[in-house]
Structure 1
């Protein structure tokens, strides 16, 4: 099977993160020598859905900086039997891998890539549930390449505060601007008014995710 066709089939199959993990474990002995094992503790599997912007602000105040914890390699047991809905995806993926003449390293590289893509999309989904409209507006400004400082970000915050006084009554500027930094969407060296603010690669990818998934409508707050 041509490598490009294999890649397309693997990417299609890896839309299901559980399938990606199952396939990854099929080659766990080789994976151990290729990649370090890591567990993302940014938000885990937590999915937050709030109707009121005030609740979103409260949830942001609870969030802490994302942490990646290194875990040593271990002998892992095979996964339990797959749920019925997952079985055809696992079957197709295993068939594709069996037909491929690619090396285990190439197969694993694409499986790891697909799993990583699925992980960041999951984080984007969680962040979108919590992010406020004004914070998306800040990301859009930063994405233009214009020089933005914290003083400029504060102006956006203050204008939004005038429009939504109840929301921002107990949601300070430092909290508003620190949340997108803590989840890796923006960066700035310190909290000084003259500090330059930049959008991160993850922040740019988040904006692409909004366009790709049709989440470009105005969000409250």
Structure 2
């Protein structure tokens, strides 16, 4: 195998190992949350807990990108990653699976390895999104999925009928922008233009559709607090 191609395949294997190591931890946290029981099947957060979740949404980063190895200033990356007792077995197992399942040249194997790595990253991003998303925001995503693009004014109606009506002490009409920004920041919804006004149309993105499929596929509850 060409050394450069081998290096590329090993890098992707390392990225997959990195993603795989963190996914069980995230799933455990989600499992702990789902194991809790609340009236009506959703968390009844008040006071500081609600404020903390709202604040966390405001500071939520955009969907992360898979890390790419970079050398220290003035140094070069070695041809192959250094041996690792943690990553090594995972890399070897993944490389074997790719070579077994995907016959053909290294370019084909590399393409599938990258696709697997990206799919793992998207799933991890969905898990992070689900941790902070409010039930009213999931309702808005479902409305967009059924109705197609809607105006910001219509989105405000959804917000008023769900978040504000059900939790008037927490959500106010003037906090709509922060509520909507989380869906934009996480890449689930896109608007047609900036600056936004009531006539601006908002649409569900392909990532937003995939998030709804993720909820269904994982059996995650749509009836969250907020």
TM-score by length of 1: 0.68
Q: 1:56 aligns with which of 53, 57, 60?
A: 53
- 8 Å contact kept, 2:152–2:199: yes
Structural mapping, 1:201-212, within 5 Å: 201-212=206-217
Q: 1:134 aligns with which of 118, 127, 136?
A: 136
SS in 1 for 2:170: helix
Match of 1:93 in 2: 94
Is structure 2 residue 187 aligned with structure 1 residue 184?
A: yes
CA shift digits 1:177-204 (9 cap, x unpaired): 1110111000112320011110000000
Shift of 1:116: 0.3
Q: Which has the higher helix share?
A: 2
How many positions carry a matched residue from both structures? 185
SS in 2 for 1:192: coil
In 2, the alpha carbon distance for the partners of 1:195 and 1:220 equals 28
- 8 Å contact kept, 1:59–1:130: yes
In 1, the alpha carbon distance for the partners of 2:168 and 2:54 equals 13
What's the RMSD between the two structures over aligned residues? 3.7
For structure 2, which runs of at least 5 residues remain unmatched after alignment? 12-21, 34-42, 72-76
- 8 Å contact kept, 1:27–1:108: no
Distance 1:180 1:218, change over 3 A: same
CA shift digits 1:132-180 (9 cap, x unpaired): 0000000000001434111111111122212202221597111011110
SS in 2 for 1:166: coil
Structural mapping, 1:149-160, within 5 Å: 149-159=151-161, 160=163
For structure 1, which runs of at least 5 residues remain unmatched after alignment? 1-24, 33-43
